[in-house]
Structure 1
Amino acid sequence: MTAMVDRIMKRVRGKGRGWAFTPKDFIDFGTRGSVDMALSRLAKSGQIRRVGRGIYDYPRLHDKLGALSPDADSLARALASKSGDKIGPAGATAANRLGLSTQVPAKSAYATDGATRTKHVAGRTVALKHARAPLLDNASDHANTVLQAIAHVGKDGMDSDVIHQFAERLGDADMKALINARPQMTGWMGDVVLRIAEARRN
């Protein structure tokens, strides 16, 4: 058990403070029961913190405030890991991150290929919404952010200015990933991807 504890803490430290995780993140180390036992021992010793059912974190520390709450992105990734779902930024968040919108979403919302649901973990509310666009396995977070933003803007909002804004925010590798993923998209989204690729060439 000591060896298991040491291996888990080595991985946790490697990820850095602020990382939220679940037992699935260590299942390559041994049985689920042994992982659960090791995590329980680490939580009791104060090396990690249990923030929800089956969710732990390696808390960031503040000189005056002590252990800080995990950020919403880290929690969302842990929730997705626990359920086996994919996640990405939800449409409004994606558009804001790309500079296409100045609207800052009031809640932490994420697109998922799983069911729409709201989770309350570590004092935060994390909204998971079933994605209107596919979440791609073989693509970067940035490419997935662009795809969710396309879905958010919508077919009717795709004027030439918006197309050029998307084109300016995509590198070659992400553009290639989106083109290769066109069969997974609805027809109009696939057409938008082609228009963005054309805009990048001109």
Structure 2
Amino acid sequence: MKSVESKIVEAIKKISKGVLIFPEDFQELGTSEAVRLALHRLEKETSITRVAQGIYVRPKSNKYIGNLIPSAEEVAEAIAKRDRIRTLPTGSYALNALGLSTQIPMKIVLLTDGSPREIKVGKRTIKFKKTTPKNLSAKGKISKLVIQALKEIGINNQTTIEEERIIELLKKEDPKHIMHDIKLAPVWIQKIMKKAL
């Protein structure tokens, strides 16, 4: 009879380095308490690294900077995938994702249809904020970010350069998606988006 820990060790060896590991990945190997304790021991032995509460990784290593831990963005993506929830970057995170800001936000705020919570990843925080289905119904990858980024900039606060950049980005979006997403935006944002069509 193999112990829960040795089964988990075997399973972890099959997971590529850099891929996030959740206790739920091993639920068929033992009780949630046994899995939690095994992961805690493996972290103490440094076989895995704890990225955030209940999230681990077999870190990739770099000869110059040592262990590479997944970014807060990668953690947010992995949680969304695990929980099968939709998320949408907002605020300064949306601005950064579009390249309208070079500042890397310390707090990532994501609108979600999942449960609201806050997770610390190193010095950064991921906040999942509950929102209405309407806010998550935008189809375009770029247009949904544009709506959130412009909301962050605020009405009449965008510079000509920002507006030109937004229009340029929207031109890479499927026009069908823009047509759909325009209806979800405030009127002043609709005016800017229409310039891309």
TM-score of Structure 1 vs Structure 2, range by shorter chain: 0.5 to 0.7
Asked if structure 2 preserves the Cα contact closer than 8 Å seen for 1:116 and 1:128, the reply is: yes
Q: Which amino acid aligns with 1:91?
A: G
1:130 aligns to 2:129 (yes or no): yes
CA deviations on 1:32-90 (whole Å, 9 max, x unpaired) are: 4338678957x838664443443122312122553233212112223444555433433
Asked if structure 2 preserves the Cα contact closer than 8 Å seen for 1:93 and 1:105, the reply is: yes
Aligned to 1:34: 29
Q: Which amino acid aligns with 2:28?
A: G
Give distance in 2, aligned partners of 1:145 and 1:157: 17
How far the C-alpha of 1:149 sits from its partner, in A, is 0.9
Give distance in 2, aligned partners of 1:152 and 1:178: 19
Give distance in 2, aligned partners of 1:134 and 1:158: 22
Q: Which amino acid aligns with 2:124?
A: T
Aligned to 2:195: 199
What percent identity do the matched residue pairs reach? 22
Aligned to 2:22: 22
Change (3 A) 1:186 1:56: same
Query: Unaligned regions of 5+ residues in structure 2, if any?
Result: none
Aligned to 1:109: 108
Query: Unaligned regions of 5+ residues in structure 1, if any?
Result: none
Q: Which amino acid aligns with 1:125?
A: R
Change (3 A) 1:128 1:68: same
Aligned to 1:179: 179
How far the C-alpha of 1:175 sits from its partner, in A, is 4.3
Alignment of 1:30-179 (within 5 A): 32-34=27-29, 40=38, 44=42, 48-63=48-63, 65-81=65-81, 84-101=84-101, 104-113=103-112, 114=114, 117-121=117-121, 123-128=122-127, 130=129, 134-136=135-137, 138-140=139-141, 142-157=142-157, 162-179=162-179
| Alignment length (residue pairs) | 185
Give distance in 2, aligned partners of 1:92 and 1:178: 22
Q: Which amino acid aligns with 1:147?
A: I
Asked if structure 2 preserves the Cα contact closer than 8 Å seen for 1:72 and 1:124, the reply is: no
Q: Secondary structure of the equivalent of 2:156?
A: helix
Give distance in 1, aligned partners of 2:188 and 2:84: 26
CA deviations on 1:74-133 (whole Å, 9 max, x unpaired) are: 12223444555433433213223434345x255141322256643224x33313163888
Asked if structure 1 preserves the Cα contact closer than 8 Å seen for 2:60 and 2:67, the reply is: yes
RMSD: 4.2
Asked if structure 1 preserves the Cα contact closer than 8 Å seen for 2:116 and 2:127, the reply is: yes
If each structure's helix is expressed as a fraction of its own residues, which one has the higher value?
Answer: 1
Give distance in 2, aligned partners of 1:151 and 1:79: 25
Which one has a bigger Cα radius of gyration? Answer: 2
CA deviations on 1:129-175 (whole Å, 9 max, x unpaired) are: 638882457443x4443232122123333676644321101244444
Give distance in 1, aligned partners of 2:146 and 2:185: 15
